[in-house]
Structure formats: structure tokens, C-alpha cells
């Protein structure tokens, strides 16, 4: 039996995440809010319609956040948990939710930074409670049984018909 470590989110938790993001976007006056993995993969967004740039934004924000972690080490800081970029038209606010998850928020200059930070702090209280159990499977890794492996192999094989090595 192979073992994998990952993030397990139930349908109910995903609905809660979507609701929190939609509310955060509305009350903070943000344009876009997303939960992404620290590896740069989008988990969920508000609005739900994902643009082609969302994948790039997620990957680049995660990379930038990883660089910020290294900066903290150089400065003998335990960690920096917040990243902020201010542009001419848009601002980007990235904050760590958990070990594997970042919250990404974009907003314009008509929105006050303090307002975004206030509502982000409140949203983090809810989000952390969702991701803590999703990441902490009592230190156990998620088992992948033989049946799952067979089904995954079949699915992969179907992508490459006629090719048998």
C-alpha cells in the first residue's frame, strides 16, 4: 500500500471555504480572493469564474511567498506570514493560512488596506479551523489502497491508448 500526504477537504468544508471567500471579498471591497496551496495550485476562488491568469497568479504568489520565507531566515526571523505588493492599479495581499495554504487577495486603491487586513484576520480565524484538521491526520499519511492504484493505472492507461511498455 502506497502512502501519500495531502490536503483532504470534504464537500461541506469546500462550501464553507467558498462562503468565507465570497463574504471576505464583499465586505473588504476586494476584486479577487483565492485559497492556494503553497505549491501554487488554486484550491478555490471568489469569484468562482477562473481566468487564465489565475494559475499564473497562484504559482507566482506561492513562489514569492516562499522567497519571503527565505528572507525571514536570513534576517533571523522565525517567519514572515504576510506579503503585500502595492501597484499603480492593484494591490496584492498574501497571508499564510496554514502550513500548506495561502490566502491571496487583490484589490484596488479605492479599497483601504486596513479594511482588507481587518476582514482578512477575521476570515483567517474560520479558515484555520478548516485547514487544521484537513492537514493534521493525526500524523498519519493517507493510505492509497491497491484498488485505488489499479483504478488510477486504468485511468492513466486510457489517456494513452495503444501504448503498452
Give the domain CATH number at 34: 3.30.450.30
| pLDDT above 60: residue 137 | no
* Exposure letters 132-151 (e unless 16+ CB within 10 A, then b): eebeeeeeeeeeeeeeeeee
pLDDT of residue 111: 93
20 and 12 Cβ atoms separated by less than 8 Å: no
Residue percentage of the chain with pLDDT more than 90: 50
Residue 120 lies in a domain: yes
How much is the pTM? 0.76
In a domain, 84, yes or no: yes
Q: Is residue 165 part of a domain?
A: no
Name the band, by pLDDT with cuts 50, 70 and 90, for residue 146.
low
Q: Does any domain span residue 27? A: yes
State the pLDDT confidence band at 79, using cuts at 50, 70 and 90.
confident
The total of structural domains in the chain comes to 1
According to the model, what pLDDT value does residue 152 have? 64
User: Residue 142 is part of which domain span?
Assistant: 2-159
Q: Binning pLDDT at 50, 70 and 90, where does residue 114 land?
A: very high
Query: Is residue 53, in this structure, part of any structural domain at all?
Result: yes
Residue-averaged pLDDT of the chain = 82
Res 55: pLDDT: 86
Amino acid at each position: 500500500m502506497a502512502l501519500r500526504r495531502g490536503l483532504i477537504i470534504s464537500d461541506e468544508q469546500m462550501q464553507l471555504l467558498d462562503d468565507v471567500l465570497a463574504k471576505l471579498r464583499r465586505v473588504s471591497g476586494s476584486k479577487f480572493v483565492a485559497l492556494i496551496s503553497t505549491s501554487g495550485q488554486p484550491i478555490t476562488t471568489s469569484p468562482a469564474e477562473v481566468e487564465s491568469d489565475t494559475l499564473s497568479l497562484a504559482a507566482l504568489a506561492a513562489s514569492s511567498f516562499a522567497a519571503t520565507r527565505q528572507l525571514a531566515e536570513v534576517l533571523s526571523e522565525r517567519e514572515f506570514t504576510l506579503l503585500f505588493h502595492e501597484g499603480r492599479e492593484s494591490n496584492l495581499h498574501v497571508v499564510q493560512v496554514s502550513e500548506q495554504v495561502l490566502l491571496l487577495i487583490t484589490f484596488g486603491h479605492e479599497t483601504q488596506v486596513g479594511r482588507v487586513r481587518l476582514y482578512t484576520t477575521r476570515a483567517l480565524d474560520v479558515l484555520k479551523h478548516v485547514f487544521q484538521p484537513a492537514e493534521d491526520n493525526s500524523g498519519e499519511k493517507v493510505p492509497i489502497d491497491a484498488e485505488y492504484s489499479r483504478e488510477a493505472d486504468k485511468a492513466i492507461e486510457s489517456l494513452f491508448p495503444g501504448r503498452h511498455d
